[in-house]
Amino acid sequence: MKKTKSSIKSTRTRNSLQYHAMVFPGMVFLILFGYLPMFGLIMAFQDFIPAKGLFGSQFVGFKHFAYMFTLPDIGRVIRNTLIIALGKIILGMLLSIAFSILLNEIRLKFLKKTVQTIVYLPHFLSWVVLAAVAMNLFNIDGSVNQILASIGLEKINFLGSNNVFRKLLIGTDVWKEFGYNSVVYLAAITGIDAGLHEAAAIDGASWWKRVWHITIPGMLPIILLMTAMNLTSVLNAGFDQIYNLYSPIVYEVSDVLDTYIYRIGLVGRQYSFGAAVGLCRSIVALIMLVSANKITEKLTNQRIY
Amino acid sequence: MLDTKSTGSKIRNTVIHIIVIGLGLACLLPMINIVAISFSGSAAVSANRVGLLPVDFTALAYKRIIEDSQFWRSFRISVIRVALTLVLNLVITVPMAYAMTRSKGDFPARNIYMNLLIFAMLFNGGMIPTYIVVKNLNLLNSIWALILPGAVPVFSVILLMNFFKGVPKALEEAAIIDGASQFQVLLQIMVPCAKPSIATVSLFSIVGSWNDFFGGLIYMQRVEDYPIMTYIQSLNIDLQELVKNAANSAALENVAELSNRNLNAAKIVVAVIPLLIIYPFLQRYLISGLVMGSVKE
Amino acid sequence: MRKTFLKKAAAVTLAMSTVLSMTACGGSDSGSTKKESAPAAAPGERDTVTITMGRQTTANPKFPEGDNYEDNAYIRMVEQELNVDIVDQFEANNGDDYNRQVSLALSAGSLPDIMKVASKDELTELYENELIADLTDVYENYASDYIKSIYDSFDGRALADVTYDGRLMAIPATASDAGPGMFWVRSDWADTLGLTIDADGDRCITLDEVKEITQAFIDGNPEKVSKMVGMSFDPSLTATSSDNANMINTIAYTLGAYPRHWYENENGEIVYGSTTDEMKQALSLVRDWYQEGIIDEQLGTRTWDDITSLLVNGECGVLFGSWHVADWLLNNVYTLNNKAEFEPYVVVNSEGKVNCTHYKATGEYVVVSAAFEHPEIAIQILNLIYDDMVNSAELLEKYPEVDSYLREGVDGTARPYNIEVKSSTYLLSEYQELKAALDGDAAKEDISSAEERTNYDAIKAYEGGNGEVTGWCKIHSRCKGVDMLTYLNDNDMYHWITPIYPQTTTTMKTNWANLQTLEAESFIKIVTGTDDLDESFNTFVSSWKSQGGDTIASEIKEQTGKQ
């Protein structure tokens, strides 16, 4: 009996060593490129002078954080971030859900497959490419404006108007992602018991009623889960997209945290200030994710991570 | 199908078809537009006269790409980058994910590692500190600077972990009774079972590293070393900054040449082709992967 | 297994050393006020020195086949003459790209041995962080007399700009006054339309005439394009120099507003030109023109190349630009349409004078890393490129490929330093020589500058009917552009403003970038918007002042008072 126990133990230790070995290579990279740079965040509390390094630079406490809140820019940047991110999340989800419900009604296999193939495609393309596509379409003489003009509407300066640019950002992002995001919803719809629909149809329930009372409730868990997941990215308004589409004329409505940190903290060489803004952003994001995870766990018994 | 074929349902069906097809076209037409531009004469392009069909059809832009050595250098850098990233990601994430499926009893440190992974996914040191690390490792201007910082895609680890958990325990136990080590279990049982999810994370890796432009912007100190998306991004930049700053030297000839829109469109089309080639696989596996990924730990 | 473990162990060690080096990065370099002890050995006697450089490049440079920034005729000449090996640590286009590379290099404490710095702020920052070498002694000992005479022609302004606590910290580029932004008009169109411009022949026009000419072109549509655009501007609207192309500067100057400049007004107060009443008037005028359709309806989104294509496509026939705008912008027009001809006019104020600001004597710099052991080489490169290459025929004979670079006009950014070092009056005096030769009063050999000799050939060939764009450009930039400057100078037509070019103040450091953004955004909105003009402009001025503008003004006052 004793012998077996110790042999189990030694197997465990041996296995455990093997597991450590499996994790090891990844951990090396994680420490190098994930954790090591975190020491750099110290510079948020310093007047960081590169020549003096992190230990040589003078500590100034929360100076940069305090300064941040005196800047009129920061309010604007946060507002833009929230509006753009929430706009993308809400409209994106609505369109994906609607699209998946509609697509589910298509009985022609060929049509359904073709449409799916097409709408998933933009998701896989880089914003570098799609920004060029969007600029061709939406510049003032572009195709979209020519269509507007041909039906007698006024041209819209999509890329240069503070009234429209944010909508363009949200719209193009929704366009890029709705197809791909509909995949999970489509899966959820397929999972709904077909018997329910049949029973309801026999009872004479209209299509709308069935969608409203059967399909949507059936999708609800996944909708809640996706909402929680998406809300964690509310501070992430999409650097790649905005960086490739914006210009100084629309900074007012499109400068978001990430672009701001890039411009001030990197190009503008205000390292410490940039780090301070970045740190705040990360902390808020972390808090949001943890709470979203808790909420999801309560609501759906699933965890985001 | 369940519906009685009433007029109402017919109208409804038609409307649904129109909407769905409309959304499909909305995704398709912009792509066709860019292809049409790439095959059009530059005068027609600057005049914004190109819609869905090429105007003044010419393949000149493509001919010029063939001669553009920088384009192909960047293209090759990206291909190599994608291949190396893929191998590295798999070598790291597969064993890691497997170890993460072990219970706390089997692998006491498991939760510590898991927390380290998740924290690293949520939190980072920012651009400058990461740059300093990359620089101090002497990786600047090397293709490894584009690869190593993204060596551990945590999301892929989680995805694989969830999949491994679904592999029947019995298979594993049988192998262990036969005296297999954990590594053997991983390679001989888990990996073959997890092919679809490995394909999924592979495609994540490919798409991500092909599409990334920012790494090149930061870690590459000259245009010659840019990967393809960074190179294309550099074509999209505004020339006004450029001209404004250099207006004092009489060196600004051929400004117009840089803003050759049909040439740039052709470059975009060529840069997207590799993704289109693997697109059938992308569609198959990423979709299953996404559905899988939303069922969590 | 063991082998990989060792590898991993090595990686961890590497990681640890990274931590250490990051925390102390650059620390070892910082004891920097190095004194030149022994005179350095002549290039031939020492070993080849490897120099790492930060190079500011330009997109789309035209190199002969096989050459590039790191390896071209200039670089090869420098390498051979000075026994050095030039390696580019980074190359980036001017603007955002270059700033990003410098910022990144700086953050990691790894400056190249020699690099270009594009702003005074950056220079000051480098000095304060003790990252750059003191060049006082090497300049004194190595700079050639000719080079020294160039800097002296600026009455000390050029060197003073790079002198900190009495020490020379950089090689400054020189920037001679470039005169006003001229109004360039498609004269072939004027002929076609039978339009008389400047009837009295004094080469001066008023703002009203600017508007009339533009309107006449819109109405006339000489090339029958689908839609004429009167004139267009860069979205930032104003620039920091008098003559920047595609800006509203000339309009503002004519009305007595000097945007983006600090200067003393008649009451002795230090003001910022963009916040003055005159500026409001200028914006108001531009806004009126915008609403009347004289100015491009897409103002604000036109990129620089958009404006160029407007000109090229014949949709627009006027622009504001410097004397040399033909060399790099209007050349595109001629290339596609060799009937195109431009004529420059200056816009005069109500007293018939041309308002103009003096340039800052310098604005770009070359710095040497404090860690570089041979700072004298930086000066030797300076001598070689900006003295010998200009003045020594033997050197060009020795390096025929450099000669052909100069002749073919290979991009000047190819030189190791992408800066100009020329005396304050070089433009006018060089043009005098060129003109004398063109008029037959002197021989080509009497022209002292190689560049002007090349221009002479190009112009002669063009006049001989070769139709080459280079000749067309040089006629426009020299015989029209610089000729105009000479005319203004000779007839005493300038009303000069000498702006204050302040050192970056404490508040500027933190707030300036934001204020600049505020300014650019406000102006474009005022011009293209429909809000009440007075109100919008006042809002801009008060937010500008409250966001640090007032503090900066008083800091500058203190600064100038001290000096």
Distance CA A232, CA A249 (A): 29
Identify the burial level of A196 via C-beta atoms within 10 angstroms of its C-beta, where 0-12 means exposed, 13-18 middle and 19 or more buried: middle
Name the helix (H) or strand (E) containing C496: strand C494-497
Q: Give all chains having 3 or more CB-to-CB distances under 8 Å with chain B.
A: A, C
**A86, A236 Cβ separation under 8 angstroms:** no
Out of B26, B96, B279, the one facing A23 most closely (by C-beta) is: B96
Confidence tier at A286 by pLDDT (50, 70, 90):
confident
Contacts B–C by Cβ distance under 8 A: 142
- CB contact set of A167 (below 8 Å; sequence gap of 6+): none
Residue C157 identity: R
Among B61, B29, B65, residue whose Cα is nearest residue B42: B61
Retrieve residue C145's tokens. Answer: 């007399």
- pLDDT reported for residue C6: 41
Confidence tier at A48 by pLDDT (50, 70, 90):
confident
Name the helix (H) or strand (E) containing B291: helix B261-293
For chain A, the structural domain boundaries read 2-59, 63-300
Mutate to test the interface with C, among B225, B242, B263 (most CBs of C within 10 A): B242
C118 CA: distance to closest CA in chain A (Å)? 13
Retrieve residue C548's tokens. Answer: 């640090």
Residues 463-522 on C with a CB inside 8 Å of A are 510, 513-514, 517, 520-521
> What does DSSP say about strands C262-264 and C163-164: parallel, antiparallel, or unpaired?
unpaired
**A205, A277 Cβ separation under 8 angstroms:** no
Is residue C318 classed as helix, strand or coil in its secondary structure? strand
Among C92, C83, C171, C227, residue whose Cα is nearest residue C419: C171
DSSP string, C361-424: S---EEEEBTT-S-HHHHHHHHHIIIIIHHH-HHHHHH-HHHHHHHHHT--GGGSSS------T
Is residue B53 classed as helix, strand or coil in its secondary structure? coil
Domains annotated on chain C, with CATH: 40-176+362-414 (3.40.190.10), 182-357+498-502 (3.40.190.10), 426-492 (no CATH)
What mean pLDDT, rounded, does chain A reach?
Answer: 86
Q: What's the N-to-C CA distance of chain C in angstroms?
A: 71
Among C94, C90, C86, C85, residue whose Cα is nearest residue C413: C94
Q: Does A162 touch chain B (CB under 8 A)?
A: no
- pLDDT reported for residue A249: 67
Among C101, C206, C169, C128, residue whose Cα is nearest residue C362: C169
Mutate to test the interface with B, among C71, C104, C421 (most CBs of B within 10 A): C104
Look up residue C161 and give its DSSP letter: H
Distance CA A137, CA C215 (A): 30
Is the predicted pLDDT of residue A280 greater than 80, yes or no? yes
Q: Does C23 touch chain A (CB under 8 A)?
A: yes
- pLDDT reported for residue B59: 86
Distance CA C138, CA A139 (A): 54
Handedness of CA B242, B245, B247, B249 (dihedral sign): negative
Handedness of CA C172, C177, C182, C184 (dihedral sign): negative
Residues of chain C with pLDDT under 50: 1-39, 562-563
**pTM of the complete model:** 0.76
**Highest mean pLDDT out of A148-162, B150-164, C59-73:** B150-164
Is the predicted pLDDT of residue A123 greater than 80, yes or no? yes
B278 CA: distance to closest CA in chain C (Å)? 33
Cβ within 8 Å, pair A51-C29: yes
Cβ within 8 Å, pair C23-A247: no
**Chain A residues closer than 8 Å to B282 by CB:** 124
pLDDT tens-digit series, residues B111-133? 999 999 988 888 888 888 999 99
What's phi and psi for C87, nearest 5 deg? -120, 130
Retrieve residue A57's tokens. Answer: 């630079």
DSSP string, C96-135: HHHHHHHHHHHHTT---SEEEE--HHHHHHHHHTT-B---
**Chain B residues closer than 8 Å to C311 by CB:** none
**C356, C496 Cβ separation under 8 angstroms:** yes
Cβ within 8 Å, pair B214-A29: no
The number of angstroms, rounded, from the C-alpha of A176 to the middle of its chain's C-alpha atoms is: 12
DSSP string, B184-209: HHIIIIIHHHTHHHHHHHHHHHHHHH
One of 1.10.3720.10, 3.40.50.300, 2.60.40.10, 1.10.20.10 is the CATH number of B64-293, namely 1.10.3720.10
What's phi and psi for A245, nearest 5 deg? -115, -25
CA nearest to C371 within chain A: A51
Retrieve residue B123's tokens. Answer: 């939190």
Distance CA C553, CA C563 (A): 15
Average pLDDT over residues B89-97: 95
Look up residue C444 and give its DSSP letter: G
**C523, C283 Cβ separation under 8 angstroms:** yes
Cβ within 8 Å, pair B3-A201: yes
Retrieve residue C364's tokens. Answer: 């770009």
Retrieve residue C460's tokens. Answer: 């002669």
Retrieve residue A100's tokens. Answer: 């998946």
Out of B222, B256, B257, the one facing C91 most closely (by C-beta) is: B222
Average pLDDT over residues B15-43: 91
DSSP string, C218-242: HHH-TT--S----B---TT---SST
Distance CA C135, CA C33 (A): 10
Distance CA C416, CA C397 (A): 20
**C458, C334 Cβ separation under 8 angstroms:** no
- pLDDT reported for residue B254: 39
Give the ipTM: 0.86
Is residue C61 classed as helix, strand or coil in its secondary structure? coil
Q: Which of left, alpha, beta for C224 (phi over 0: left; psi -120 to 50: alpha)? A: left
Can you name the residues that pair with C271 across neighbouring β-strands?
A: C263
pLDDT tens-digit series, residues B225-280? 999 999 988 876 544 444 444 433 333 443 444 457 788 889 999 999 999 998 88
Q: What percent of chain B has pLDDT over 70?
A: 85
- pLDDT reported for residue C19: 42
> What does DSSP say about strands C270-272 and C365-368: parallel, antiparallel, or unpaired?
unpaired
- pLDDT reported for residue C34: 37
Retrieve residue A300's tokens. Answer: 């759906």
Distance CA A33, CA B134 (A): 8
Name the helix (H) or strand (E) containing C249: helix C249-254
Identify the burial level of C297 via C-beta atoms within 10 angstroms of its C-beta, where 0-12 means exposed, 13-18 middle and 19 or more buried: middle
Residue C496 identity: W
DSSP string, C257-291: --TT-EEE-TTS-EEEGGGSHHHHHHHHHHHHHHH
Out of B157, B183, B272, the one facing A125 most closely (by C-beta) is: B272
**A209, A197 Cβ separation under 8 angstroms:** no
- pLDDT reported for residue B281: 80
Residues 261-280 on A with a CB inside 8 Å of C are 264, 266-271, 273
Average pLDDT over residues A244-255: 82
Distance CA C3, CA C118 (A): 50
Cβ within 8 Å, pair C8-A54: no
**What is each CA distance from C83 to B5, C45, C50, C477, in whole angstroms?**
90, 9, 9, 38
pLDDT tens-digit series, residues C50-93? 999 999 887 767 788 888 899 999 999 999 999 999 999 999 88
CATH of domain A63-300: 1.10.3720.10
Cβ within 8 Å, pair A157-C100: no
Average pLDDT over residues A133-161: 84
Cβ within 8 Å, pair B242-C94: yes
CA nearest to A139 within chain C: C301
DSSP string, chain A: -HHHHHHHHHHHHHHHHHHHHHHHHHHHHHIIIIIGGGGGGGGGGEE--GGGHHHHSEE-TTHHHHHHHH-HHHHHHHHHHHHHHHHHHHHHHHHHHHHHHHHHH---HHHHHHHHHHHHGGGGS-HHHHHHHHHHHHSTTSHHHHHHHHTTPPP--TTT-TTTHHHHHHHHHHHHHHHHHHHHHHHHHHTS-HHHHHHHHHTT--HHHHIIIIIHHHHHHHHHHHHHHHHTTTT---HHHHHHH--GGGHHHH--HHHHIIIIIIIT--HHHHHHHHHHHHHHHHHHHHHHHHHHHHHHS----
Q: Give all chains having 3 or more CB-to-CB distances under 8 Å with chain A.
A: B, C
- Residues of each domain in chain B carrying CATH 1.10.3720.10: 64-293
Out of A126, A179, A282, the one facing B123 most closely (by C-beta) is: A282
**Cα C363–Cα C369–Cα C370 angle in degrees, nearest 5:** 120
Q: What percent of chain A has pLDDT over 70?
A: 94
Q: Does A67 touch chain C (CB under 8 A)?
A: yes
Distance CA C441, CA C458 (A): 18
